[in-house]
Chain A
Amino acid sequence: MPITWAWGAAAVTAAGVASRDTRRHAIITSQVRYRMQIAIASGKGGTGKTTVAVNLALSLSGAGERLFFLDCDVEAPNAALFLQPTLTEHRDVGQQVPRVDPARCTACGRCAEVCQYHAITVIGQQVLVFPELCHGCGSCTLNCPTGAISEVFDKTGVLERGQAGAITFGQGVLDIGEAQAVPVIRQLKQWVAPSDDEAAIVLLDAPPGASCPVVETLRDADMVLLVTEPTPFGLHDLRVAVEVARDELGLPVAVVINRDGMGDAGVETYCAAEGIPVVLRIPFRRAIAEAYADGIPLIEAQPAYRVAFRDLYTTLAQLATAGKNRQPASGGVA
């Protein structure tokens, strides 16, 4: 499947290519010259995605790069609890849903026929709209023979933006009772993330799972960091996440093993067999869990991790670059 790479134009200049081999330290000490989007995902929930994403962001903060953090887990957004941003801008998010003008409607049923989501139906002379099923595609509007359908905004969540120190922070929050996370994620990325050719580091904190909200988050990332725990649950769901990120989307992947030492060796064995690099191991320590419980970032609770997370970024940038240099259609790190 062809992949569209969101790779900044500046990266393919001669200077950009030449600098790749010597990037290991240059990444941190000088400005990035392209957009580097790293998604932090997991498959299984609660493995430490937000912990890794937040600490990665904090370790890079103040290193001179433009840094963006997008919390794309719009059903359960938690990163703000740790990054404590000042949210200065708010915007309603949602979609266009049909509104039928009864004066012009002939109850012909064409709208119901073209709607693939059963979000609009005709009973007798009356047209009923179910906004929670609507995907806002506009097909009913286009197909109505009498022009009886207009569209109105139906709010499904909010987007919020602000600063957490040097980090530009954005999050989406799905309203209670709303089903569709994807439009919230899509609009969050459009609103907050810099464009393809802007030089910046963008960290995307993904939702758990492997279905459409995860795909929407990962779609234009350069690299996916998968956080797992060394248990049979962690392994099972890591496999699922690799299927999405590497096999479906063709993105380079790397693994962080959180709570290392907790369970068994299954995750290590799997990563070795698949050639997936394990780029960080965070040990299973009660002290780490306790700091997390109180909202204290790991690199503050245990400052030695600041260096570990900076090194992590350097490794990820190299893996992303290696992934790009490879033929994109083949996908993934071999």
Chain B
Amino acid sequence: MKQLVILSGKGGTGKTTVAAALAHLASQEFSLVLADADVDAANLELVLAPTLEETHEFHSGQVAVIDPETCIACGRCAEVCRFDAVVAGEGYRVDPLACEGCATCFYQCPVEAIRMEEQHAGRWFVSNTRFGSLYHAHLFAGQENSGKLVTLVKQMARLRAMDDVADLVLVDGPPGIGCPVISAVSGADLALIVTEPTVSGVHDMARILATTTHFQTPALVLLNKTDLSPARAGEIIAYCEQQGTPVLGQLPFSDDVPQALVRGQPVTAYSGGPVAMALQDAWARLREALFSDEV
């Protein structure tokens, strides 16, 4: 079983478009389990027409709550809190959005007026799609611990893949390089970095490549909207060459992508146009990279 994670650094470069297309193409010869690791803004479900099978609650993190009856307003909680989460007014209260759940105030309160309340932070789901089971999640607005939810979704997807003796776990990653990305990269055999030839795309690709290198995950680059700026595309290719990172392929800027999206389909299922053809070519090479050592 192989685990592939799709990343980008910069958002909106086409991670989910590529993930859906690869799910479509890969499912024609392999058995898959899919995981959407962008728990803030999960979009893979929008192009895979899933049927929801299971819903689970995600409890994680905690916030401090001060009982006004017991509180003697000594101010010790406000003094020890490093996150400015204790608000003084008539007595003291905790701003749940600022609270990091560290429980420092809980341990320091001399009259035990503070309790820690576990947060109902989100939900995770198992759905069925025509390309394989999909594990996805929704972290509630403003919650912490997106990394934990990403880890949970991936673990569940992986367990399912082991049960089903699946060939590939395909993980659609979040943007950025921080906590949820680190969780998404963990355990991956290969990272596919989707980038675009813009000044931001070049900058953020370098940061995500440094991140995959840091975690010793081999990476390949897929250049999306490649004809938008031949100069930036050249920069990206030169950078990848210098880093020893193979460029898997180049996708043209095309209206097929939003059109497929509006119809809720992977672009490879919607059209046989240049983007779909380039993705087929990219998949053929990716297949080599993933499975060649198993043949």
Contact = CB atoms under 8 A, between A and B. Distances in A.
Q: State whether these chains interact.
A: yes
Interface of A: 1, 4, 42-47, 50, 73-76, 78, 81-82, 114, 116-117, 135-139, 142-143, 174, 176-181, 207-215, 219, 231-233, 236-237, 240, 243-244, 247-249, 262-264, 286, 289-290, 292-295
Given A209-B175, A290-B229, A294-B232, A231 B198 contact: no
Contacts of B108: 142
B75 interface: no
B66 to A, nearest CB: 14
B97 interface: yes
B107 interface: yes
A111 B108 CA distance: 13
B165 interface: no
Given A210-B139, A237-B41, A262-B258, 10 more contacts: A45-B41, A76-B10, A114-B107, A116-B103, A177-B182, A179-B182, A232-B261, A293-B232, A294-B199, A295-B199
Choose among A181, A236, A237 the residue with the greatest number of B CB atoms under 10 Å from its CB.
A237
A208 B176 contact: yes
A138 B82 contact: yes
Contacts of B189: none
Given A139-B102, A262-B258, A293-B229, A43 B41 contact: yes
B8 to A, nearest CB: 8
B272 interface: no
Given A138-B104, A215-B142, A45 B11 contact: yes
B235 to A, nearest CB: 11
A264 B262 contact: yes
B159 interface: no
Nearest to A243: B141
Given A219-B98, A231-B261, A208 B175 contact: yes
A181 B176 CA distance: 10
Contacts of B262: 231-232, 263-264
Given A46-B10, A177-B211, A240 B107 contact: no
Question: 10 closest pairs, A vs B, by CB?
Answer: A45-B11, A46-B12, A137-B102, A75-B176, A209-B40, A293-B229, A243-B141, A295-B199, A45-B175, A179-B179
A147 to B, nearest CB: 15
Given A232-B264, A247-B141, A114 B232 contact: no
Contacts of B261: 231-233, 263
Interface string B227-270: 01101100000000000000000000100001001101000000
B51 interface: no
A208 B210 CA distance: 20
Given A114-B107, A138-B104, A237 B43 contact: yes
B100 interface: yes
B207 interface: yes
B103 A248 contact: no
A171 to B, nearest CB: 12
B203 interface: yes
A45 to B, nearest CB: 1
B155 interface: no
A173 to B, nearest CB: 9
Contacts of B141: 210, 240, 243-244, 247-248
A181 B11 contact: no
Looking at chain B's contact residues, is the secondary structure mostly helix, strand, loop, or mixed?
loop
Interface stretch (B25-33, B143-151, B273-281, B285-293): B143-151
Contacts of B87: 4
Nearest to A1: B96
A44 B146 contact: no
Interface string B55-85: 0000000100000000000000000101100
Contacts of B179: 179-181
A149 B101 CA distance: 21
A78 B10 contact: yes
A289 B140 CA distance: 33
Interface in B98-148: 98, 100-104, 107-108, 139-144, 146-147
10 contacts: A1-B96, A78-B10, A116-B102, A135-B102, A176-B211, A181-B178, A210-B142, A211-B39, A232-B261, A233-B46
Contacts of B225: 289
Contact of A45 (B10, B82, B102, B215): B10
B214 A176 contact: yes
A272 to B, nearest CB: 19
A143 B87 CA distance: 23
B210 A142 contact: no
B245 to A, nearest CB: 15
B64 to A, nearest CB: 11
A139 B82 CA distance: 10
Nearest to B61: A116
A177 B214 contact: yes
Nearest to A242: B141
A94 to B, nearest CB: 13
Interface string B168-198: 0000001111111110000000000000111
A295 B207 CA distance: 18
A75 B180 CA distance: 11
Nearest to A48: B12
Contact of B178 (A47, A137, A180, A292): A180
B100 A135 contact: yes
Given A46-B13, A114-B107, A231-B262, A176 B40 contact: no
A109 to B, nearest CB: 14
B200 A174 contact: no
Contacts of B178: 74-75, 174, 178-181, 213
B3 interface: no
Contacts of B97: 215, 219, 248-249
Contacts of A264: 262
